[in-house]
Structure 1
């Protein structure tokens, strides 16, 4: 089993690493360069024009690795197809957003309403398939004996989880290598948890994502040669939430994905504080920008967030496996 998992990670890693030197110049020739918003940190203006939409390569690597590995060592089932559906669905939504920003010169891409409708539709389809297959609607609270059957309310929960975490990873993707590293950590943690449950299909998908984003990190680490764009960030967040749901570890995602939660909370608190008091809590949100404007180097912020992400992941694994 360990050999299979290692092979899947290496395969996804190599696909991304070997194709990136071909794909990045292709994006450059198409003039698919990142536009930097004026309201962001001034130091980011130098990143303008860096090729984006690298998430396409991440998604392709994950799909190829997952299908090849499950075909060889398992039997692709509902879990595999649902995970690929969510990954591809949110990836396509992100692609549309990126394409509109770049090709149509609309800096904000899809409107928030358009994006939300797309996210909800994908989540609803995900829920319907689970419902048809008799998936449990019970949610358990870690470290307690308490559980609750949400019944039809589980549909609303799934929508909230998929939409929420796809947006959370999107917010986190603001510094070179930040999302690539934190995503690799979170998916690695869920790979371990899925493995402990003997869910081979989910494990293979999770390690495929881990390998793909680590391969992407080779080119996305500071100074980034390519950005993943919404194509990658939305796909990763949706896939992470889908894994948590399929493994019935929905709540532990709040811990393992703790960095994504903190980034989102910083935005919510910032907006709420400014609207109610006229004052800002942070120098800028999401949280990583606050530390940048506090004098931290970009690399220091990223490494610190990776470290905290590892601590969250280890704690999540410990709670689920040993407590």
Structure 2
């Protein structure tokens, strides 16, 4: 049983290691050619070192060795993390085809599912707990792969993925503390510490990108801690809580998939129509766009915390308020960018379709 002092030390250790090791990782990235070349789809104008996720991983290892969190699933979780890191490093150096990255994520997810760490049930209001039985395995694999890619897809602006991930993990940490989930508390503490340590070098203007090494690792880690914590929650809406926590990356990913299908493009094909790019196009500065998305993420995280301890009717009220807030934000953003028919034009913009002109 760890004391609060142990968690504080682990946080500081992970943070400090990430801060100190990142410049060395930057030199390594440049030396081996793990760099990001500018092109018309990207905002940065100069060649940038990536591979920064390796610094996050090393920071996490330092905190992990200090706390030594124990779980019956930990061996497979660590193996899965190593697989993800290897895939990320190879992609940052050689730019792997999407199918090979997906295969690596699939293998990591299957390794975790084989440990018995599964999304075995969901709690539905008026119906109670619904056991997934044999569907637990495919649902678990899909969840891990989906969240891993969701964080990867929002990694488009300096400091965005690290910041959004830290906010999501802080929300999970608060709920884990309330439920005394020791393993989740430990993992969140060291992951947040390392992510913030890397953010010192990655916030705008970034000196290094986390690359797929970092984005895939953070996405994988969040998928795991949400399974260890949020899906084990016995609240009325346990299946909705992790979705609310990760609302920004999840819905950005869903819109990206729908957009590409509507435009008859490969769903893995990159584009410049993600939420963060749209905010920049609407006139927000690079830093402001990141801070706006931080704010959205924090609001969703706070809502999830309240949601997890609410009664049925209060939960429904919060859900309605969230939906109204999302529509209100869409109206304002659309009004700023298109002046008229804001909601339909904002939706069309996100979908990559031509906005409706004024009469």
Give the drift of 1:267: 0.9
Equivalent of 2:204, from 216, 222, 225? 222
Aligned to 2:213: 231
Q: For the residues of structure 2 that align with 1:285 and 1:192, how far apart are their CA atoms?
A: 33
Conservation of the 8 A alpha-carbon contact between 2:147 and 2:220: yes
Q: For the residues of structure 1 that align with 2:35 and 2:84, how far apart are their CA atoms?
A: 21
Count of matched residue pairs: 297
Structure 1 residues 223 and 144: alpha-carbon distance in aligned structure 2, compared to 1, 3 A threshold: farther
Aligned to 1:296: 284
Conservation of the 8 A alpha-carbon contact between 2:10 and 2:66: no
**RMSD across aligned positions (CA):** 2.2
Q: Secondary structure at the match of 2:122?
A: strand
Q: For the residues of structure 1 that align with 2:184 and 2:115, how far apart are their CA atoms?
A: 16
Equivalent of 2:145, from 134, 151, 163? 163
Give the drift of 1:147: 2.2
Equivalent of 1:140, from 123, 132, 139? 123
Q: For the residues of structure 2 that align with 1:251 and 1:7, how far apart are their CA atoms?
A: 33
**More displaced stretch, 236-245 vs 197-206:** 197-206
1:85 and 2:79 are equivalent in the alignment:
yes
1:25 and 2:8 are equivalent in the alignment:
no
Conservation of the 8 A alpha-carbon contact between 2:119 and 2:136: no
1:55 and 2:53 are equivalent in the alignment:
yes
Q: For the residues of structure 2 that align with 1:88 and 1:211, how far apart are their CA atoms?
A: 19
Structure 1 residues 136 and 256: alpha-carbon distance in aligned structure 2, compared to 1, 3 A threshold: closer
1:97 and 2:80 are equivalent in the alignment:
no
Conservation of the 8 A alpha-carbon contact between 1:263 and 1:288: no
Conservation of the 8 A alpha-carbon contact between 2:25 and 2:51: no
Give the drift of 1:82: 4.1
Aligned to 2:97: 111
Give the drift of 1:198: 2.0
In the alignment, structure 2 segments of 5+ residues that lack a partner are: 232-238, 266-270, 312-359
Give the drift of 1:195: 2.3
Q: Of the two structures, which has the highest relative contact order with CA contacts closer than 8 Å and spacing of 6 or more? A: 1
Counterpart mapping for 1:1-323 below 5 A: 1-38=3-40, 40-41=41-42, 44-46=43-45, 48-70=46-68, 76-100=70-94, 109-130=95-116, 137-141=120-124, 146-249=128-231, 251-275=240-264, 284-323=272-311
Q: For the residues of structure 1 that align with 2:187 and 2:294, how far apart are their CA atoms?
A: 22
Q: Secondary structure at the match of 1:225?
A: coil
In the alignment, structure 1 segments of 5+ residues that lack a partner are: 101-108, 277-282
Structure of greater Rg: 2
Q: For the residues of structure 1 that align with 2:86 and 2:18, how far apart are their CA atoms?
A: 19
Conservation of the 8 A alpha-carbon contact between 1:13 and 1:212: yes
Q: For the residues of structure 2 that align with 1:151 and 1:97, how far apart are their CA atoms?
A: 35
Give the drift of 1:322: 4.7
Structure 1 residues 24 and 111: alpha-carbon distance in aligned structure 2, compared to 1, 3 A threshold: closer
Q: For the residues of structure 2 that align with 1:15 and 1:236, how far apart are their CA atoms?
A: 17
Give the drift of 1:171: 0.3
Structure 1 residues 122 and 150: alpha-carbon distance in aligned structure 2, compared to 1, 3 A threshold: same
Structure 1 residues 22 and 120: alpha-carbon distance in aligned structure 2, compared to 1, 3 A threshold: closer
Q: For the residues of structure 2 that align with 1:272 and 1:28, how far apart are their CA atoms?
A: 36
Give the drift of 1:21: 2.8
Alignment TM-score, normalising by the size of structure 1: 0.85
Structure 1 residues 268 and 16: alpha-carbon distance in aligned structure 2, compared to 1, 3 A threshold: same
Conservation of the 8 A alpha-carbon contact between 1:53 and 1:230: yes
Q: For the residues of structure 1 that align with 2:37 and 2:151, how far apart are their CA atoms?
A: 19
